[in-house]
Amino acid sequence: MKKVFLITALSVTALLCVVAQVKKPQPKVAVNNPAASIERGKAVYQKECLSCHQADGGGVPHLNPPLYESTNVVGDKKKIIAVVLRGMTDRVPIDGEYYSNNMAPHPELTNVQIADVLTFIRASWGNKASIVTPAEVQAVRGVKKK
């Protein structure tokens, strides 16, 4: 009896591992097809971000920053992934301006959704920066905030 139980338990764990492994490398979708990622990212943007950052990415003067002509948006991906995951209430000047709204954290978005929306932003309104992959999002998600 004991043995059988042990074996079953093991195989279930093994199965879970396989499932987890199958699930993890979905970044391929985004990496291989940036156009599809941008398209999906646009939908995420419209639902989650557009109200504050506006349809043209221009933001709202003194309230929400623009996502074009921004050093950070086309800069270090880790930084902007963290902004989406954990929000931003730093009140530090962004490209010389202060913005008084709070950017809410969006941990409920999946790695793929965050990768998509940032890939979309980094390819829109004159921005021409590299894609963001779900693996890169996961890497930041895994790091605890200091």
Interface residues with ligand HEC (CB under 6 A)? 48-49, 51-53, 64-65, 70, 72-73, 80, 83-84, 88-91, 94, 99, 101-104, 106, 117, 121
- The answer to the question of residue 43 lying near other proteins (CB under 8 A) is no
Task: Report 53-82 residues binding other proteins (CB under 8 A).
Answer: 54-56, 58-64, 66
Pick one of 31, 50, 129, 139: the residue that binds other proteins (CB under 8 A): 50
Shortest Å, Cβ 114 to other proteins: 14
**What are the residues facing 103 on neighbouring strands?**
88
The single-letter DSSP state of residue 48 is H
What sections of 26-69 are H helices per DSSP?
Answer: 27-32, 34-48, 50-53
b/e map 55-68, b = 16+ CB within 10 Å: eebebeeeebbbbb
- The answer to the question of residue 41 lying near other proteins (CB under 8 A) is no
In angstroms, what CA-CA distances link 58 with 7, 47, 63, 120, 138? 59, 16, 11, 15, 28
Between the CA atoms of 115, 121, 123 and 127, what dihedral angle is there, to the nearest 10 degrees? -140
Nearer to ligand HEC, 15 or 143 (CB): 143
From residue 94 to residue 133, the character string flagging contacts with other proteins as x (rule: CB under 8 A) and all else as - is: ------xxxxxxx-x-------------------------
- Alpha carbons 86 and 106: distance in angstroms, whole number: 7
Q: Which residues contact other proteins (rule: CB under 8 A)?
A: 47-48, 50-52, 54-56, 58-64, 66, 87, 89, 91, 100-106, 108
